[in-house]
Amino acid sequence: MDIENFFDDIKPRVIDYGRYASNIQKGVHSEDKKGESNAAQALTDADFIVQEGLSRSFLGLNYKFNLRAEEDSPYNEKFPREAEFIVSIDPIDNTLAYKKGLSGYCIVIGVHKNGHLEAGMVHTPNDGKIYCATQDCSQSWIYDDNFRSDFIFS
């Protein structure tokens, strides 16, 4: 799996669902998961809609991976159980802040191989930026208004 191409391919949908989450934040419906801490209980309609939308868009791509999503969904079962790569989704990271109308939430996508995190994408909808990094430090970059800034560390 070419992680850089994967991130480039999913970027438009991640931005779309980040905008969606921002637009509905003030009026979002929420309910709490039972038996969890306050932070772990936080669950909103946005969590489900962002996750479902991203999952559907991933299905249309030509990548083979297992999906590990934070919320239960029938879409989770549409991805191969056995795959070299696992993609994880946290549709609204820091849902408690999101529910309170604060800006400190993000969409997090992880790419794992052999039980290890290979790369991550973090989208902060309130400033529109997407931060991407891989285990190979020469492949770290930020998207800001469709402009890509690469970082090279020595």
| C-alpha 105, offset from chain centre | 11
Residue 95 — φ and ψ, nearest 5°? -60, -30
Task: Tell whether residue 92 is among the known ligand binding residues.
Answer: yes
Residue 128: helix, strand or coil by DSSP?
coil
* Nearest C-alpha neighbor of 29 from the set 46, 51, 50: 46
Task: Tell whether residue 90 is among the known ligand binding residues.
Answer: yes
Task: Tell whether residue 24 is among the known ligand binding residues.
Answer: no
Residue 154: helix, strand or coil by DSSP?
coil
Question: What is each CA distance from 98 to 46, 92, 120, in whole angstroms?
Answer: 9, 8, 21
Task: Tell whether residue 15 is among the known ligand binding residues.
Answer: no
- Binding site per annotation, positions: 70, 90, 92-93
- Binding site per annotation, positions for Mg(2+): 70, 90, 92-93
